[in-house]
Amino acid sequence: MLCLRYSPATITRRLDAVEIPKNPRSIVVCGAKGPRPRYPRVWKTRQRIGTISKSAKLVDCIKGLSNVKEEVYGALDSFIAWELEFPLITVKKALKTLEDQKEWKRIIQVTKWMLSKGQGRTMGSYFTLLNALAEDGRLDEAEELWTKLFSENLESLPRVFYDKMISIYYRRDMHEKMFEIFADMEELGIRPNTSIVKMVGDVFQKLGMLDKYEKLQKKYPPPKWEYRYIKGKRVRIRAKLTGESDDPGEAESDDPGEAVNEINDKTDMNSNEMHDEADSSVDDADEPIYEAHNSS
């Protein structure tokens, strides 16, 4: 009987040639050919798509479409068909991209589609829609949206909406409606910012209402202080008034500590003056500057 046997030396050499890795779970050992690597599955992907790339795809998806409502809404519905949740962040970033590109019609379409889904019902979304309607020249729809927001959020409407509507009427020389919004602000006790006071004051000067202009400047004087960030610290500095020349001697210090000390010294020196002005302004605070139905 024929019997084939390997010598012990040959078996030892073959075992030495096989290198056993430290982590045996990452490989599969075959009987005759030794270890082979395990590759990732074909149907699994390691590429993760973020919201930035998704928003870019959304913008590219709708930019080549027509202005037909059904076509745009159908493309948007098909874009989110396989999403488990509504991609609100992706849509918001797409709206920001469209706003940078000044695609006002697309902004109106996407925002109305988002609101029709019951998503993104925030003041930021409504302000984006209001701004797009105004920039696209659809003033009637902008006024309708403003009336709805003003009636539903009478005491909680942000001041930026008043600023936007006054600027819309200011550019179109619609002074009467501009005065109505300003009168509503005074009636609700909302203090106008610098831009609103400037626009209303310019209209008063243009129409020859100098008494109302002086009353406006007395009730809402320009701010003497403003806040800036110097090396990460919030520092109050004196505001630069209109027509004031730059004085190199009053330049800001690079050291925030010195700037704070200098400002505190100026504050102590002018504290009595500021209190006197505050007391005098309280007497005129309750008296409105312009009434909505004033004939003058």
Q: Is residue 246 over pLDDT 90?
A: no
pLDDT classification of 140: cutoffs 50, 70, 90: very high
AA identity, residue 189: G
Average model confidence (pLDDT) across the chain: 77
d(Cα 204, Cα 191) in Å, to the nearest integer? 18
d(Cα 148, Cα 248) in Å, to the nearest integer? 50
- Extract the tokens encoding 34: 């030794």
Q: Is residue 93 over pLDDT 50?
A: yes
Task: Give how far the C-alpha of residue 46 lies from the chain's centroid of Cα atoms, to the nearest Å.
Answer: 32
Q: Is residue 287 over pLDDT 80?
A: no
Mean per-residue pLDDT, 184-191: 92
% residues pLDDT > 90 (the chain): 47
Residue holding tokens 């040639």?
A: 17
Burial class (CB in 10 A: 0-12, 13-18, 19+), 72: buried
pLDDT at residue 48, as a whole number: 56
Mean per-residue pLDDT, 190-212: 92
Distances (CA, A) of 51 to 112, 189, 251: 21, 41, 44
Q: Is residue 32 over pLDDT 60?
A: no
For residue 234, list its beta bridge partners: 229
Helix ranges restricted to H, the chain: 8-17, 51-63, 69-79, 88-100, 104-116, 123-135, 139-152, 159-171, 175-188, 194-206, 210-219, 256-269, 271-283
